[in-house]
Amino acid sequence: MLRELLDGNCISKWNWAAGEEVTIFQADDCTSNNGTKSTPALSRTSWGDWREEVIWRTRDNTELRLYMDHDPTEHRFVTLMHDPQYRLAVDLAERGLQPAAASGLLSRRGMKPPPWPSINTRLQNRPPGFDGPRNGVSRRS
């Protein structure tokens, strides 16, 4: 639950007990973009929980590779894409600016579940067969 650091094609985590940065993943044969900013092709949460995925391009520009955490988690939150600040930050990051950041704290210790976001969607012209919420976002059970 502690924040990870993304730099170039490497993900690391600060080990606060040892006072050092520890590499937890390196995308071999991949590279980052934007020179000194060293950003991946994409970094955001897309597939249903709060953990982020990263897409890097290969050094020879022939592939895009998706890296995601496939280990189960006991922590249950709404997706970060439901957080308006995070969603805006993802948009800015996709335009080559800064990496995304959530508006709240994700922590290992004493964290209360974040409040359910107040996002209201209204669809005027619903596509045929669409069975989503009629007004607002439905809450999960």
pLDDT digits (tens, 9 = 90+) for 63-81: 999 998 888 888 877 778 8
pLDDT digits (tens, 9 = 90+) for 10-63: 999 999 899 999 999 999 999 988 777 788 888 888 776 778 889 999 999 999
What are the boundaries of each domain within the chain? Answer: 4-69
* CA atoms of 9 and 12, how far apart (whole Å): 10
Res 129: pLDDT: 58
Q: Which one-letter amino acid corresponds to residue 17?
A: A
Q: Are 31 and 64 in contact (CB under 8 A)?
A: no
Question: Sign of dihedral through CA atoms 84, 86, 87, 91?
Answer: positive
Integer-rounded Cα Rg, in Å, for the chain is 18
H helices of the chain, in order, are 84-94
